[in-house]
Structure 1
Amino acid sequence: MTGRLQGLELRRVAMPLVSPFRTSFGTEHERDVLLVRAVTAEAEGWGECVALSGPLYSPEYVDGAQAFIKRYLIPLLRRFDGHVYALEPLFEPLKGHPMAKAAVQTAVLDAQLRAAALPLGAFLGATKQRVPAGVSVGIMDSVPALLDAVAGYLAAGYLRIKLKIEPGWDVEPVRAVRERFGDDVLLQVDANTAYTLTDAEHLARLDPFGLLLIEQPLPEDDIRGHARLATMIRTPICLDESIVSARAAADAIALNACRIVNIKPGRVGGYLEARRIHDVCAANGVAVWAGGMLETGLGRAANVALAALPGFTLPGDTSASDRYYAQDITEPFVLQDGHVAVPAGPGIGVEPLRDVLDSVTTETEWHNFTGVS
């Protein structure tokens, strides 16, 4: 599983969402997606950068990720000729930018796995052929609109509902969902760092609703605050933005700052580190689930493969394609009995639909390493 890169394509695509997606840090109407295509003599592979248009979820943003890849990663890749594991020490001197690094690493990994006829799931250690699917529901303009949305997702067969929350939109929406749909619905909330420890008494008002978890209630750098909050509320705390590496996960677990971890490969620098986080959590009896960043079918395919590892015991944000896109750039992921199938083909297991991809492409750059285009 080696091979010198012949070149790298950076492609921007504009993907309108089927409906606005609002969280505590902003509202997304479409995704401006940076795709990376790595080409070797044997195969080509795809990676998707999950950075948003602005530095809201994290310091990274899509224009910056593209500039970082061009200025810093491509010069390193021009002399790369090894296994994908060698990319980590190659990139390590460059601080930060995990989403950009993850996109490149995934593209190279996909190309190498396709050349070896090995599916990503098998490479990572997947044990399932399909994974349970949850859905993330953004902040709505009204509680009735929220209830209508949740009703639709439950009717579609989703096995878990996640509600985005923020101050002023938390207890009442959760109460309304519980009253309408009952206690049997797997329900969790995601704050995206919108609260502080001074809100502990208010957050404790969520305890009676029997939530699976509250995700990232406090700022990402406040691990001690999360550990303190865990002693003040009954709802299990799940960390997302705080978990930037396997080391960070081990620290959070040691400090009792979380009982559950959301793993997002883009946030941690790629699928190799994501698997290490899975292993750390499994060794400590901490449940994990697969988060999402409104990925297209290319990014979703890799996430679904990751979610098939044995430690992923909770439904993740591995929704069907039509949750976000009327037309995906791959064959759509479809919900069947509340589950999404793990791609069985080599690499990430899916290919872009070229006509569709070209129709939503706004920009392409080809960086030639060997004179082959």
Structure 2
Amino acid sequence: MKIESITLYLVEQTLKTPFVTNLGHVSNRESIIIRIIDQDGFEGWGEVVAFTSPWYTEETITTCWHIIEDFLAPRLLLQVINYPSDVESVFKEIKRNHMAKAGIETALWDLYCKRQKVSLSKAIGGSREQVDAGVVVGLDDPVNMINKIQQHVEEGYKRVKIKIKPGNDYELVKRIREAFPSLSLMVDANSAYTLDDLPLLKELDNFQLLMIEQPLASDDIIDHAKVQRQLQTPICLDESIVTFDDARKAIELESCRTINIKVGRVGGLSEAVKIHNLCKKHQIPVWCGGMLEMGISRAVNIALASLDQFTIPGDISASSRYWHQDITTPEVVVTNGTISVPDGVGIGFEINLERLLEITKTKITIKKPGTL
């Protein structure tokens, strides 16, 4: 694949409902949509899932735009890419910036699969035709949260995740568990606790939770191991796992009993598949996390979740869960708690260019030096 042009679209949509965690409050979602065209006119689409401010990772939409425009795109335009994972060596001198790299790499996967006339799921070794869907409920008044959970249960979602933070934890979980005694329920702390909070975390063992996600610092695997040894409930690591080696070390230290894999966080689909394979080798369950994505990244997540070690429903909700209108057609639909894995070429969804342009704030096209 010889890349002829890379177009970046800075887009923004308003969420149907603001999303609240202990780290931040998201009402409007910015993203960068990436369109890559090769010498034969094939195109691939990717999405950068960083946020406007650096509350989840150090990357932001602004830093990703800068890194792609000034560093990643110029390097890519000078290369011949035989396989999407080739970009790991192309970009190796650029430290971290995983979400910027993932946007480019997933666009190359879409392009590669279209050239090969194969679905993204099949290209990465997916085996499922349906994936189970889970849903996230942000922090809110407990009554509102219970009402939202009831709605999602009626919609068929197979697993519910709620956000917690100090002061909104034990009593909140207790009320929700009393309202839904058999619900597959997990909690996500987004690094809100420390080792001093171990007694409280141990009390959460009373609620038969599926897992406690990232209770301690976002870059920690040592203290998580200390906590996991004293909990019956599995710890899941999210922000702490940004590379294959992070996952390897966490497994060796027994820092967790499950891992949340996010394509953007780990730098691309190739790294995500490597982490999946490692976890499969060690019999560590994995699931696919969400980032309030638009349709392109949602399609990538569906393909990833079709791999066989994804045994826990992921944060892969219907498009209508977040958006009045998504940028892909057809939109992602949840039916009886499952999502069909597309069998069309590439990501399996078409881009609604009219909708994309409606929400585009600015765009640039980067071409090889010397071309018009």
Q: TM-score, normalised by structure 1?
A: 0.97
CA drift of 1:42 comes to 3.7
Unaligned segments of structure 2, at least 5 residues: none
- Give the corresponding residue for 2:31: 33
The corresponding residue for 2:136 is 136
**Backbone CA RMSD of aligned residues:** 1.1
> Residues 194 and 217 of structure 1 are in contact (CA less than 8 Å); yes or no, is this contact kept in structure 2?
yes
TM superposition shift of 1:370? 6.9
Query: CA deviation digits over 1:184-243, x for unaligned, max 9?
Result: 210000011111111010111111100000000001222110000012221110000011
Which range moves more in the overlay, 142-151 or 271-280?
A: 142-151
Q: Distance in 2 between matches of 1:371 and 1:72?
A: 18
Q: Which residue of the other structure, out of 250, 256, 259, is the alignment partner of 2:257?
A: 259
Partner residue in 1 for 2:116: 116
Equivalent in the alignment of 2:195: 197
Whole-Å Cα distance in 2 between the matches of residues 14 and 5 of structure 1? Answer: 27
Q: Quick one: distance in 2 between partners of 1:99 and 1:323?
A: 23
Q: Deviations over 1:42-101 (max 9, x none)?
A: 410111001000111000000000001111112211211122222111101110100000
Deviation (angstroms), 1:307: 0.2
Cα offset, 1:351, TM superposition: 1.5
1:211 equivalent among 203, 209, 212? 209
- Checking the alignment, whether the CA contact within 8 Å between 2:47 and 2:103 is kept in structure 1 is yes
2:302 corresponds in structure 1 to 304
User: 1:178: Cα distance to partner?
Assistant: 1.0
Residue of structure 2 equivalent to 1:273:
271
Q: Does 1:151 align with 2:166?
A: no
Q: Which shifted more, 35-44 or 158-167?
A: 35-44
Number of equivalences: 369
- Summarize the alignment of residues 172-183 of structure 1 with structure 2, pairs less than 5 Å apart: 172-182=171-181
Superposed counterparts of 1:84-123, under 5 Å: 84-123=84-123
Is the Cα–Cα contact under 8 Å of residues 193 and 217 in structure 1 kept in the other structure? Answer: yes
Who is 1:250 aligned against?
248
Question: Tell me, what secondary structure is at the counterpart of 1:336?
Answer: coil
**1:15, distance to aligned residue in structure 2 (A):** 1.2
1:21 corresponds to which of 19, 22, 26: 19
Secondary structure of the structure 1 residue equivalent to 2:192: coil
Query: Retained in 2: the 8 A contact 1:7–1:370?
Result: no
Structure 2 contact 129–340 (Cα < 8 Å) conserved: yes
Q: Distance in 2 between matches of 1:347 and 1:102?
A: 16
Q: For residue 130 of structure 1, what is the amino acid of its counterpart? A: Q
Deviation at 1:290, TM superposition (A): 0.3
Amino acid at match of 2:101: K
| Contact 1:6–1:370 under 8 Å retained in 2 | no
Calculate percent identity across the aligned residue pairs. Answer: 41
Query: Is 1:317 paired with 2:315?
Result: yes
Q: Is the 8 A contact 1:22 1:138 kept in 2?
A: yes
Deviation string 1:117-150 (CA, Å, 9 cap, x unpaired) is 111100111010110000011011x111111111
Instruction: Give the CA deviation at 1:371.
Output: 6.8
Matched residues in 1 for 2:215 and 2:290: separation?
Answer: 17
Where does residue 82 of structure 1 map in the other structure?
81
Question: Would you say the 8 A contact 2:259–2:285 is kept in 1?
Answer: yes
Quote the offset at 1:294 in angstroms.
0.6
Q: Does 1:336 align with 2:298?
A: no
Q: Secondary structure, in 3 states, of the residue corresponding to 1:152?
A: helix
Q: AA paired with 1:318?
A: I
What secondary structure does 1:179 align onto?
helix
Secondary structure in 2 aligned to 1:45?
Answer: strand
Q: Are residues 102 and 18 of structure 1, via their aligned partners in 2, closer, same or farther at CA, if it must alter by over 3 Å?
A: same
Structure-1 separation of matches of 2:219 and 2:10: 31
Residue 372 of structure 1, CA deviation: 6.7
Could you tell me how far apart the structure 2 residues matched to 1:260 and 1:272 are? 20
| SS state at 1:349 partner | coil
Is the Cα contact below 8 Å between 1:42 and 1:115 reproduced in 2?
no
CA distance in 1, matches of 2:220, 2:127: 34
Residue 293 of structure 1: which of 291, 294, 306 is its match? Answer: 291
Partners in 1 of 2:242 and 2:85 — Cα distance? 18
Contact 2:74 2:368 in 1 (8 A): no
Q: Distance in 1 between matches of 2:166 and 2:131?
A: 32
1:223-273 deviations in whole A, cap 9, x for unaligned? 110000012221110000011111110100100100000000100010000
AA aligned opposite 2:333: V
> Structure 2 counterpart of 1:85, which letter?
S
How far apart, in 1, do the equivalents of 2:41 and 2:172 lie? 52
Contact 1:102 1:265 in 2 (8 A): yes
